[in-house]
Structure 1
Amino acid sequence: MTVPASLPASGIALYSLPIAIVVAAVLDRTVAEPPVAVHPIALLGRVIEPIDDQYQSSFSVGILAAIVLPIGFATVFVATTAVVGAVSPVAAPIVVGVLLFSLFSHRMLIDTAAEVVGLIDDDLDAARVELRALAGRDAETLSAGELRSAAIESAAENLADGLVAPLGAFAVVGFLVQWYAVGAVDAVGSIGTGPIAIGVLPLSAGIAAAAWVKAVNTLDSMLGYPEKRVGTASARLDDVVMWFPARIAAAFISLAVPSPDPLLAGRRWANRPPSPNSGWPMATIAAALHVKLEKPGAYVLNDLGQLPTHDEADRGVSLASRAGWLFIGACVLVTAIGTPSGAI
Structure 2
Amino acid sequence: MRIGIHEISGRLFVAPMAGVTDRPFRALCRRLGAGYAVSEMVSSRRELWRSAKSVRRVDHAGERGPVAVQIAGVDAQEMADAARHHIDRGAQIIDINMGCPARKVCNRWAGSALMRDEAQALRIVRAVVAACRPHGVPVTLKMRTGWCRASRNAPAIARAAEAEGVALLVVHGRTREQGYGGAAEHDTVAAIKAEAGIPVVANGDIDGPERARDVLARTGADALMIGRAALGRPWLFGQIAHFLEHGRHAPPPATSDVARWLLEQLHAHYALYGEAAGTRSARKHIGWAVRALPGGPGLRAQVNALADSRAQLAAVAAYFEALAERHARLPEGAAEPGGNAP
TM-score, structure 1 normalization: 0.23
**By percentage of residues, which structure has more helix?**
1
Q: Whose RCO is larger (CA < 8 A, sep 6+)? A: 1
- For the pair shown, the structure with the greater C-alpha radius of gyration is 1
TM-score, structure 2 normalization: 0.23
